[in-house]
């Protein structure tokens, strides 16, 4: 019977009887025998000295012992090549140490989180929620600094003057789009083919070779759509068969016209370029009437039988001619250069767009003097005008001025994530008045208010100050408003909605059970999908998958479309586990995945047709869980080969929470084949590379895990032969515990044999993401308590999240360190 791969450091019940049978004397002897050689007070290898520590009270040196526990969890200490204690003794010591640290925890219960700005994904989500404008965060703001893969860590979210300029410019641009201009300039936008083909959101059934995109129509009026190139070239066969072009806006057909067939073919044959130009003129500057706002646009071809004989079933090789050049063999018209949308022409104003519905919560023509309190509509965003809850129109304020105050108060309350003060209003209203100067319209005044709110530090930053009079050098509980913001950004990646904000304003989140109810409500909301895109994909290090560029000579079948399929598969796979509230351990074991026809072929899965992704249960065992996903296998490879080192380190870090020590700066990592030498397998090259004892200390932990995944090539295809070395793949290996395994399946079995280890890793990553800071040693007893609680519910995601939300680490702010406080005070002057 195989032993488990990794020792337990989190579940006391399993190891408690064994631990109880041993005394601290035996543990002291264990440490003295196997640890003091390197970690004495004289050597202090790695800056760690265990000699002289009081084992009777580990909590006195919790910071050191938590480091020890993490190393033991990944079996990184003692290092390979050194004398090893029996695994049962390591298990016993780990369990005893974790139990003792948890029982006698000392020190803070929460860490300090400094003031932080919105990162660019949060900014985009907030703008969408506040004013209904979709912005591309990559185009608006630069890349945020990442800490352990996450870009929402407060300490890294600094601001430079250039950054502030970008925020102000973005605020002005968003305000213009949101409010609109009844008489805008004519502009044009081109939508490319590849960038607007999304397998997850394809054109409607019954169409082919189309693209779908969202276009912001700036005003009501006429717009003109141009299809520049439909493959009607000098040597094209695209006109031999009739096709029908359709344009749909919000799923309604606004244009339908045929191209090709006998008449068009004859016209092109008789008049050559002039005839082709006449044909294409039918698809240039197509006029359509559209209301203002963002609309869904589809340009496609009606899909139907397009041949009467089998002549055109295959794209036969064209005649090479005297020069040897091959003529194109397009048998049907199709989009080549994209779609151009221009306008508006003869604008007629601005209808009620979703953005204006969010902003204009009152009608300046109907707001009168002494109107008193105005209550919000029950259906936010659907009634023409809505005021902020409990807002009061001043008795001496009428018409436009009163409505402007209501709009400003409502927008600022949602943007600032708290009630709006008189001081806030006194700062914002002058922007409205400035917009009205020199004949400015009411809308122009509101546009200035929107820009001011979006550029305000109250919107761009989040700060935890605690109750009034709280000293920053003490630990304190978050206010209900601060708790609402932390919860909302955790689960939705954006600020609180009206329901959560109302509860916080009334101090309702502090009442028993209320916060748990809100967590369950918010997890059921579609906005909780941000836990996949903003948490999981960053935890798994998949947001920059385009950094790996496979060698086209070695992997000719790899395309950017396949890369996108890899990402879609993981997002759908993780998203299903999260939305179905499954055990997080299912991420390692699930026997289903999400594929389209292209990815199915790559994986060798039959019976899948079409570009749309769908759930498939009949998958090979080698595709189960995260280890079988192409995105992860590609991300942990180089462009020309696999990397057991990258893959082993990824498993240790992302799945086990025990990242290996980074290699020294001068370490040689090149495993390239040397010119003139007989090609060798990656395993053989790696054996040469890690022959040194100093390298074996780390590689002895990392490499065995990565070698078990060698049956996957650099782009995730399953293989039994190394195509370069012409040798069989050997995926057998001996893990640091001495357990012999062969291949991905046995590695997966070892990983899930102790589910609490993976559950602890997920909990640590989620807690770090939730509280916007790196975890400290004093957080670990709470992490283990959350995992023990979730074990009773089979480690479901909701149980882990509820445990996090109810922890002191989440509900409190720790004391600011004196040195950091001094720097903060100087910077604030």
21-35, 122-136, 766-780: range with lowest mean pLDDT: 21-35
Q: How confident is the model at residue 139 (pLDDT cuts 50, 70, 90)?
A: confident
Q: Say what the pLDDT of residue 690 is.
A: 66
Q: Say what the pLDDT of residue 315 is.
A: 43
Residues 6+ positions from 758 with CB-CB distance below 8 Å: 584, 585, 587, 588, 655, 656, 751, 752
**362-387: per-residue pLDDT in tens?**
988 876 544 443 333 333 333 333 33
**Paired sense of beta strands 207-217 and 252-259, if any:** unpaired
Q: What does the pLDDT average to over 798-808?
A: 98
Task: Express as a percent the part of the chain with pLDDT over 90.
Answer: 62
Q: How confident is the model at residue 678 (pLDDT cuts 50, 70, 90)?
A: confident
Q: In whole angstroms, what is the distance from residue 384 CA to residue 367 CA? A: 13
Q: Say what the pLDDT of residue 13 is.
A: 35
**248-298: per-residue pLDDT in tens?**
999 999 999 999 989 999 998 889 889 999 999 999 999 999 999 889 999
Q: Residue 450's closest CA among 485, 415, 493, 402?
A: 415
Q: In whole angstroms, what is the distance from residue 609 CA to residue 265 CA? A: 33
Q: In whole angstroms, what is the distance from residue 217 CA to residue 342 CA? A: 9
Are 113 and 154 within 8 A, CB to CB? yes
CA geometry: angle 297, 299, 301, nearest 5 deg: 145
Check whether the bond before 825 is cis (ω within 30° of 0).
no
DSSP state of 796: B
**CA torsion angle 162 167 169 170 (round to 10):** 140
HSE-CB at 525 with a 13 A cutoff on CA atoms is 18
CA 404 from chain center: how many Å? 37
Q: What does the pLDDT average to over 50-71?
A: 90
Task: Name the maximum alpha-carbon separation found in the chain.
Answer: 100
Q: In whole angstroms, what is the distance from residue 158 CA to residue 150 CA? A: 15
DSSP state of 476: E
Identify each DSSP E strand in 560-616 by its residue range: 593-595, 614-616
- DSSP string covering 307-346, please? -SSGGGSS-PPPP-TTTTPPPP---S---SS-EEEEEEEE
Are 200 and 569 within 8 A, CB to CB? no
- DSSP string covering 604-645, please? T--S--SSS-EEE----GGGSTGGG-HHHHHHTB-SSSB-HH
Residues 6+ positions from 825 with CB-CB distance below 8 Å: none
Q: Residue 810's closest CA among 516, 523, 582?
A: 516
From the CB of residue 261, how many other CB atoms can be counted at a distance below 10 Å?
Answer: 13
Considering only residues 335 and 9, tell me which one the structure prediction assigns the higher pLDDT. 335
**420-472: per-residue pLDDT in tens?**
999 999 999 999 999 999 889 999 999 999 999 999 999 999 999 998 888 88
Task: Express as a percent the part of the chain with pLDDT over 70.
Answer: 86
73-77, 284-288, 534-538: range with lowest mean pLDDT: 73-77
DSSP state of 422: H
Q: Say what the pLDDT of residue 160 is.
A: 77
Q: Say what the pLDDT of residue 12 is.
A: 35
CA distances 804 to 439, 497, 512, Å, are 54, 21, 16
Are 367 and 399 within 8 A, CB to CB? yes
- DSSP string covering 718-756, please? B-SEETTTTEE---EEE-TTS-EEESHHHHHHHHHTSHH
Tokens of 622: 């080698």
From the CB of residue 683, how many other CB atoms can be counted at a distance below 10 Å?
Answer: 21
Whether the CA torsion 168, 171, 175, 176 is positive or negative: it is positive
Give bridge partners of residue 593 from the DSSP assignment.
Answer: 616
Tokens of 504: 């916080």
**610-645: per-residue pLDDT in tens?**
888 999 998 999 999 999 999 999 999 999 999 999
The b-or-e profile of 57-83 (16+ CB within 10 A means b, else e) is ebbebbebbbbbbbbbbbbbbbbbeee
HSE-CB at 300 with a 13 A cutoff on CA atoms is 24
Residue 390 in this model has a pLDDT that exceeds 70: no
Give the total residue count for the chain: 829
Q: In whole angstroms, what is the distance from residue 829 CA to residue 149 CA? A: 33
Tokens of 616: 């498939």
Whether the CA torsion 475, 479, 485, 488 is positive or negative: it is positive
Q: In whole angstroms, what is the distance from residue 333 CA to residue 356 CA? A: 40
Q: Say what the pLDDT of residue 791 is.
A: 97
Q: In whole angstroms, what is the distance from residue 585 CA to residue 577 CA? A: 10
Q: In whole angstroms, what is the distance from residue 248 CA to residue 214 CA? A: 12
Are 410 and 383 within 8 A, CB to CB? no
Tokens of 465: 């100050």
- DSSP string covering 131-186, please? H-----HHHHSPPPPPBTTBS--GGG----HHHHHHHHHHHHHHHHHHH--SSPPP
Residue 590 in this model has a pLDDT that exceeds 90: yes
CA distances 481 to 3, 119, 500, Å, are 49, 20, 9
Are 754 and 658 within 8 A, CB to CB? no
Give pairs for 46-51: CB < 8 Å, separation 24+.
Answer: 46/661
Helix (H, G, I), strand (E, B) or coil at 529: helix
The chain-wide mean pLDDT, for the chain, equals 86
Q: Which pTM was predicted?
A: 0.85
Q: Say what the pLDDT of residue 733 is.
A: 93
Q: Residue 572's closest CA among 559, 587, 562?
A: 587
Q: What does the pLDDT average to over 715-719?
A: 97
**446-456: per-residue pLDDT in tens?**
999 999 999 99
**The most confident of 75-79, 541-545, 661-665, by mean pLDDT:** 541-545
Q: In whole angstroms, what is the distance from residue 658 CA to residue 650 CA? A: 10
Q: In whole angstroms, what is the distance from residue 517 CA to residue 811 CA? A: 16
Q: In whole angstroms, what is the distance from residue 633 CA to residue 644 CA? A: 10
Q: In whole angstroms, what is the distance from residue 557 CA to residue 804 CA? A: 44
Tokens of 404: 């402007």
**178-234: per-residue pLDDT in tens?**
999 888 999 999 999 887 877 667 778 888 888 999 999 999 999 999 998 898 888
Are 266 and 300 within 8 A, CB to CB? no
Burial of 162 per CB tally in 10 Å (0-12, 13-18, 19+): exposed
Are 238 and 245 within 8 A, CB to CB? no
Q: In the block, which residue shows the tokens 């001619």?
A: 321
Residues 6+ positions from 277 with CB-CB distance below 8 Å: none
Q: Treating both helix axes as pointing N-terminal to C-terminal, what angle do 780-791 and 755-771 enclose, rounded to 10 degrees?
A: 120
Considering only residues 323 and 537, tell me which one the structure prediction assigns the higher pLDDT. 537
Are 488 and 519 within 8 A, CB to CB? no
């Amino acid at each position: 019977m195989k032993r488990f791969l990794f020792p337990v450091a989190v579940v006391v019940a399993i190891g408690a009887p064994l631990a109880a049978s041993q005394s601290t004397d035996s543990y002291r002897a264990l440490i003295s025998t196997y640890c003091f050689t390197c970690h004495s007070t004289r050597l202090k290898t790695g800056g760690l000295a265990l000699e002289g520590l009081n084992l009777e009270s580990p909590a006195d040196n919790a910071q050191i012992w938590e480091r020890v526990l993490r190393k033991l969890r990944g079996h990184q200490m003692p290092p390979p090549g050194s004398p090893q204690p029996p695994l049962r003794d390591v298990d016993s010591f780990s369990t005893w140490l974790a139990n003792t640290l948890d029982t006698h925890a000392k020190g803070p219960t929460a860490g300090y989180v400094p003031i932080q700005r919105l990162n660019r994904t949060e900014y985009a989500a907030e703008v969408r929620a506040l004013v209904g404008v979709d912005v591309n965060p990559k185009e608006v703001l630069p890349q945020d600094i990442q800490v352990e893969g996450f870009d929402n860590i407060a300490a890294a979210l600094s601001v430079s003057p250039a950054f502030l300029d970008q925020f102000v410019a973005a605020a002005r641009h968003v305000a213009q789009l949101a409010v609109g201009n009844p008489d805008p300039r004519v502009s044009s936008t081109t939508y490319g083919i590849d960038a607007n083909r999304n397998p997850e959101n394809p054109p409607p059934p019954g169409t082919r070779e189309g693209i779908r995109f969202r276009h912001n129509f700036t005003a009501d009026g006429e717009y003109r759509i141009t299809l520049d190139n439909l493959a009607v070239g000098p040597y094209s066969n695209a006109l031999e068969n009739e096709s029908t072009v359709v344009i749909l806006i919000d799923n309604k057909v606004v244009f339908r016209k045929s191209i090709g067939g006998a008449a068009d073919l004859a016209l092109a044959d008789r008049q050559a370029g002039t005839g082709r130009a006449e044909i294409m003129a039918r698809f240039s500057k197509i006029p359509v009437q559209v209301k203002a706002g963002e609309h869904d646009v589809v340009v496609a071809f009606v899909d139907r039988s397009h041949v009467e004989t089998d002549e055109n079933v295959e794209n036969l090789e064209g005649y090479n001619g005297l020069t040897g050049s091959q003529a194109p063999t397009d048998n049907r018209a199709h989009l080549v250069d994209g779609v151009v949308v221009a306008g508006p022409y003869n604008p007629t104003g601005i209808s009620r767009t979703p953005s204006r519905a969010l902003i204009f919560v009152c009608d300046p023509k109907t707001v009168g003097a002494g109107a008193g309190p105005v209550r919000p509509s029950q259906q936010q965003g659907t009634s023409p005008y809505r005021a902020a809850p409990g807002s009061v129109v001043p008795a001496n304020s009428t018409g436009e001025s009163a409505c402007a105050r209501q709009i400003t108060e409502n927008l600022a309350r949602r943007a600032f994530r708290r009630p709006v003060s008189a001081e806030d209003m006194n700062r914002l209203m002058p922007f409205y008045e400035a917009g009205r100067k020199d004949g400015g319209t009411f809308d122009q005044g509101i546009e200035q208010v929107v820009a001011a709110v979006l550029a305000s530090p109250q919107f761009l930053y989040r700060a935890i100050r605690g109750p009034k009079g709280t000293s920053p050098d003490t630990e304190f509980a978050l206010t209900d408003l601060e708790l609402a913001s932390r919860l909302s950004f955790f689960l939705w990646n954006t600020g609180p909605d009206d329901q959560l904000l109302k509860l916080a304003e009334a101090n309702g989140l502090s009442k028993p059970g209320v916060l748990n109810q809100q967590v369950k409500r918010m997890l059921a909301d579609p906005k909780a999908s941000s836990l996949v895109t903003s948490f999981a994909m960053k935890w798994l290090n998949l947001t920059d998958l385009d950094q790996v560029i496979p060698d086209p000579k070695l992997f000719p079948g790899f395309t950017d479309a396949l890369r996108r399929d890899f990402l879609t598969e993981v997002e759908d796979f993780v998203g299903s586990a999260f939305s179905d509230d499954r055990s997080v351990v299912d991420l390692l074991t699930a026997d289903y995945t999400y594929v389209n026809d292209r990815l199915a072929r790559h994986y060798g899965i039959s019976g899948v047709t079409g570009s749309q992704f769908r759930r498939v249960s009949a998958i090979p065992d080698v595709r189960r869980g995260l280890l079988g996903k192409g995105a992860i296998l590609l991300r942990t490879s180089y462009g020309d080969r696999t990397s057991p080192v990258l893959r082993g380190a990824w498993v240790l870090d992302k799945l086990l929470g025990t990242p290996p020590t980074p290699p020294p700066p001068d370490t040689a990592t090149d495993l390239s084949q040397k010119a003139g030498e007989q090609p060798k397998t990656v395993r053989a090259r790696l054996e040469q590379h890690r022959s040194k004892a100093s390298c074996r200390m780390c590689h002895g932990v990392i490499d065995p895990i990565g070698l078990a995944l060698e049956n996957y090539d650099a782009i995730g295809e399953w293989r039994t032969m190394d195509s370069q070395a012409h040798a069989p793949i050997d995926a057998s290996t001996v893990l640091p515990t001495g357990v012999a395994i062969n291949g991905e399946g046995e590695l997966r079995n070892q990983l899930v044999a102790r589910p609490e280890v993976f559950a602890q890793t997920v909990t640590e990553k989620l807690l770090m993401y939730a509280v916007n800071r790196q975890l400290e040693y004093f957080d670990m007893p709470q992490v283990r308590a959350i995992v023990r609680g979730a074990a009773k519910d089979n480690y479901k995601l909701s149980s882990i999240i509820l445990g996090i939300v109810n922890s002191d680490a989440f509900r409190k702010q720790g004391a600011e360190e004196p040195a950091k406080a001094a720097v903060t005070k100087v910077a604030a002057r």
